[in-house]
Amino acid sequence: MDSGTTESGDGLSGRLERLVSLAGSQARAAAAAGVSLSQFKRYLGGESQPGFRAMVRLAHATGVRLDWLAMGQGAIMAEAPTDPPLDQGLMEIVIVECERFLQARGLGLEPSAKGILMLAVYRMALRAREGGADPASVLDADTLNDLVRLSA
């Protein structure tokens, strides 16, 4: 089956079987749906139909489109969100300012925590710029203090 096109002729139980292969097992698919394995098997056998909440959970957990799961229409796989291209100049400013902030306060963060901090500040700066504000406005001491506490 082509993962990018509508699947025909299988009905809901066929689409659920496809989700089982994406989830790895019936038990994992049932857990993703938030239902018991026995209930999920009833869905597969066509004895019962999943409710909206179970279908949303399944679609989210397996990366399929909800309209495909519910109706068999449209593309099967949801499009992965794409991040905007990296603004190297802005990232450099974020790294320099975060490092200065940490050094001035004698704070040492683990590399992974420092990465989380810098990524959060970078994303905030991007959103500020997209909203028409100065990206440097997110580099104030209070904001950085809060983020350091969260990332540490």
DSSP string over the chain: --TTS---SSHHHHHHHHHHHHHSSHHHHHHHHTS-HHHHHHHHTTSS---HHHHHHHHHHHTB-HHHHHHS-S-SBPPPP-PPPP-HHHHHHHHHHHHHHHHHTT----HHHHHHHHHHHHHHHHHHHHTTS-GGGGG-HHHHHHHHHHH-
Domain encompassing residue 20: 11-71
76 within some domain: no
Residue 3 lies in a domain: no
The per-residue pLDDT for range 104-147, each reduced to its tens digit, is 989 888 888 888 888 888 888 888 888 888 888 878 888 888 78
Residue 81 lies in a domain: no
Which pair of structure tokens corresponds to residue 116?
Answer: 């989380």
109 lies in some domain: yes
**Is 104 within the bounds of a domain?**
yes
Structural domains of the chain, count: 2
CA separation for the pair 85, 107 (Å, rounded): 30
Same domain as 95, residue 132:
yes
* 2: in domain: no
Which of 71, 103, 120 is the last residue before a domain boundary? 71
Q: What is the pLDDT of residues 57-101, one digit of tens each?
A: 898 888 898 889 988 888 888 776 566 788 899 999 999 989 999
d(CA 27, CA 76): 22
pLDDT tens for each residue of 16-47: 999 999 889 999 999 999 999 999 999 999 99
Same domain for 67 and 112, yes or no, is: no
| pTM score of the predicted model | 0.48
Indicate which CATH number applies to the domain containing 40: 1.10.260.40
6 located within any domain: no
Whether residue 121 contacts residue 139, with contact meaning beta carbons closer than 8 Å, is answered with: yes
Per the domain annotation, does 4 fall within a domain? no
